[in-house]
Amino acid sequence: MSSTYIEAIRRALGDALAEDPRVFLYGQDIAGTFGGAFKATKGLAERFPGRVLNSPISEDGQAAVGIGAALAGCRPVIEFQFADFASVAFNQMVNHAATHWWRTGVPVPATFRLPAGGTPGGGPFHCQMVEGWLTSHPGLIVVAPATVGDAYHMLRDAIACDDPVAYLEHKHLYNHLRIDTDPSRAERLPLGKAAVRRAGRDCTVVSWSGMVHECLKAAEPLAEQGIEIEVIDLRCLRPLDTATVLASVERTGRLLVATESWPFGGVAAELCAWISEHGFSHLDAPPRRLSAQDTPVPFHPDLFRAHHPDAARIAAAVVETVEF
Amino acid sequence: MSDHRLALFRAMVRARVLEDRLASLYLSGGIPGGSVFLSRGQEAFSAAAAMQLRPGDVYAPLIRDQAGRLVRGETPLDAIRVHLGRTTGVTRGRDGNIHRGFPRQGDLAMISHLGSTIGTVAGWLMGLRQLGKAGAPGDLAVGLASIGDGGMNTGALHEGLNIAAVEKLPFVLCVTDNQLSYSTFSDRTYACRSLVERAAGYGLRGVAIDGTDPDACWAACRDAVARARAGEGPQMIVAKLLRLAGHGMHDDASYVPAELKSRFADGVQTYEVVLRKDGVLDEAAAQALWDEYRSETAAALAQAQAEPSPDPAQEPWTALSTRALA
Ligand SMILES: Cc1ncc(C[n+]2csc(CCOP(=O)(O)OP(=O)(O)O)c2C)c(N)n1
């Protein structure tokens, strides 16, 4: 059995629905034979009648439904059509879901699925990586799987988690990433743990979601130049597994964080600040961020490709960091 | 008939007494932070609505629902503890004043953001359906939420209410049009003649009532909840009345013209007169009732004041319930 990233998501949703009567899905265009803008729920409405429900175009309302259903004892999975539109549900996620346990002692086990990240031609409102604003608020877990196995396991873990989880799934990976095994049998790491995807001694290169694959791509030509990078996939962006990154930096003495997201604030800035603060004595070069351009995501494919880091730019930044 | 009228009046007085004490406590500097929000003038509608609910129903009170909260089982001690930020309060000093509830029992702990709870109540009812706990028509678990004329204009309200209508949920929206949202009069917040006109736009049944008349509040709430419970779908009640206080105790409401005030009665005062005229209550019984609640509130306040405030050094400072991730 083989599986793409999007098939792993569908499989995780199907398995969760089959195993747990508290699970139901609520989102735009996800029901019927249509099965969602990206087909993540294709076939599930037929398999689980009454448990895969179309919503109006009401992101705030969808998130509110998720919160209410979670409080009633369900494990709702709320699908936003694009992560970009989750901005309309920002209030419900960060002010309602994320504060609830802390304020009342009653957790909100809702999962929010956000199809995120850039694809050529998507433009400013269908390509955003939104972890910057989601991770700044306490009480919300934010995950961003980069592999087919993680797409499966982290969605199952998100649904099983008592706290609200924003699950950022990368749209470019949907059909570009495939494994030849059953994703449910892929290695399952605990929620909150980063993964070392490639070991190396010269520079720690941290990323998440789609950018992990650009980092891995950069590793080959760098190795030919004699530079071995250690590629860390954060997997979970909130909380951040700083321990795994610090342990790596202790060995390599160098840190590059590559992100498809914007340069101001956000996960890359947080990680660089944290390592500067807690790993200063291990550093042989300044921690470095490689981010998208500080503009909205452009429409034209040429502009789009120049907007965010790629393997070539990651490799060049690694060389500069190593030669510092 | 008179049984529920006396119970309604009791709930109104109990809330009035408690809030009057919280107000004087605010003025004497006894509230550690924020303001105190009074429901003065709104007790009847709030209590009448909550009195129709039963265990298993969902209740989403808002700023001016002290009466409804008491009906649902909150005690004056619970309310005072949260206002004082005591560790014994349900929010343990982490949140204050009106941002409290008993979510495990279906009594939501509002966030400030107006409109946010409407979709949450809808979601709760959808969740009960998923779990097979919604009940059968005639016996459905009902969700009842409050909103003001100001909150009616939020996107969250619209999205949540529309979802409740689409799902044909046993949902009751209690709209209190108290002429004001903070200092802004209704003519700057909506352009229809009455907010009840909006009900038709959502495909739900709406009624407009005089919110200063407790008997009218009771009748409308009883009917709306019964219809929701029977499976007739979402209901809207719009009660017209006047906020007889500032937005909060920090606000003297000097912007409210005397002429407007002269047009609205205080339901607590008028209802006592009506009930005495109707023989539900005599003077001695009325006095005993006020005295009973004054001593209840005094005892609760004394107890809460003797209880500990939170110790920052004991605070775990984590917002995640998942221990492994905290
Ligand atoms: C979304 C949102 N915006 C602003 C506020 C600040 N605020 C709190 S209460 C209030 C007035 C609300 O008016 P209304 O809904 O009519 O209720 P009332 O206070 O009259 O009971 C405002 C502006 C808020 N709580 N939520």
Here the CATH number for the domain that contains residue B157 is 3.40.50.970
Which domain covers residue B26, as residue numbers?
A: 2-308
The alpha carbon of residue B218 is apart from the nearest alpha carbon of chain A, in Å, by 27
Interchain contact, A64 vs B124, CB within 8 Å: no
Nearest one of B136, B123, B117, B134 to B163, comparing CA atoms: B123
Averaged pLDDT, A87-96: 98
Q: What is the pLDDT of residue B138?
A: 97
- Within-domain flag for B315: no
Which residues face A246 on adjacent strands?
A: none
Count CB atoms within 10 A of the CB of residue B82.
Answer: 26
What is the rounded average pLDDT of the residues A139-160? 98
Residue A224 CB coordination number (10 Å):
8
Answer yes or no: do B123 and A67 touch at CB < 8 A.
Answer: yes
Residue B317 lies in a domain: no
- Summarize chain A as % helix, strand, coil (round to 5): 45, 15, 40
Ligand 1 geometric centre to CA of B57 (Å): 25
Taking CA A164 as the corner, what is the angle to CA A161 and CA A169, rounded to the nearest 5 degrees?
90
Residues of A belonging to the active site: 59, 126
Shortest distance, CA A36 to any CA of chain B (angstroms): 19
Q: Locate B109 and state its tokens.
A: 């702990």
Contact A60 B109 (CB under 8 A): no
Burial of A51 (0-12, 13-18, 19+ CB in 10 A): middle
CB contact under 8 A, A64 and B160: yes
Q: How far is CA A47 from the centre of its chain?
A: 28
% of chain B residues with pLDDT over 70: 99
Residue matched to tokens 């342990």 = A247
* CA–CA distance, A111 with B285 (Å, rounded to integer): 54
Mean pLDDT in chain B?
A: 97
**Is residue B35 pLDDT above 90, yes or no?**
yes
Predicted pLDDT of residue B13: 98
Secondary element (H or E) of residue B187: none
Where are the alpha helices (H) located in B152-213, listed in sequence order? 155-166, 197-202
How many domains is chain B partitioned into structurally? 1
Compare all CA atoms of chain A with the CA of B158 and give the residue at the minimum distance: A61
User: Has residue A269 got a pLDDT over 90?
Assistant: yes
| Residue A24 contacts residue A77 (beta carbons within 8 Å) | yes
Structure tokens at B325: 């991730």
Closest CA to A145 of A109, A180, A111, A98: A111
| A141 contacts on B by Cβ (under 8 Å) | 320, 322, 325
Give the closest residue to B148 by CA, choosing from B103, B125, B118, B123.
Answer: B118
Over residues B274-305, the pLDDT tens digits come to: 999 999 999 999 999 999 999 999 999 999 99
Supply the pLDDT for residue A218. Answer: 98
Q: Examine residue B325 and state whether it is found in any structural domain, yes or no.
A: no
Instruction: Take residue A86 and report the two structure tokens written for it.
Output: 């989750």
Residue B2 predicted with pLDDT over 80: no
Residue B226 inside a domain? The answer is yes
Distance CA B154, CA A288 (A): 43
Chain B touched by A109 (CB under 8 Å): no
- Reported as a single tens digit per residue, the pLDDT across B37-57 is 999 999 999 999 999 999 999
DSSP-based three-state secondary structure for A111: strand
- Residue A9's pLDDT is what? 98
- Judge whether B326 lies within some domain: no
pLDDT band at B256 (very low <50, low <70, confident <90, very high): very high
Q: What is the CATH number of domain A3-185?
A: 3.40.50.970
* CATH match for A195-322 among 3.40.50.620, 3.40.50.300, 3.60.21.10, 3.40.50.920: 3.40.50.920
Evaluate whether A103 touches A67 at the Cβ level (below 8 Å). Answer: no
In whole angstroms, give the CA distance from residue B139 to residue B230. 6
Is residue B1 predicted with pLDDT exceeding 70?
Answer: no
Residue B202 lies in a domain: yes
Looking at residue A1, its pLDDT comes to: 83
> Residue ranges per domain, chain A?
3-185, 195-322
Q: Which residues, at least 6 apart from A246, have a Cβ–Cβ distance to it below 8 Å?
A: A275, A278, A279, A282
B178 lines ligand 1 (CB under 6 A): yes
User: A3-185 and A195-322: same fold?
Assistant: yes
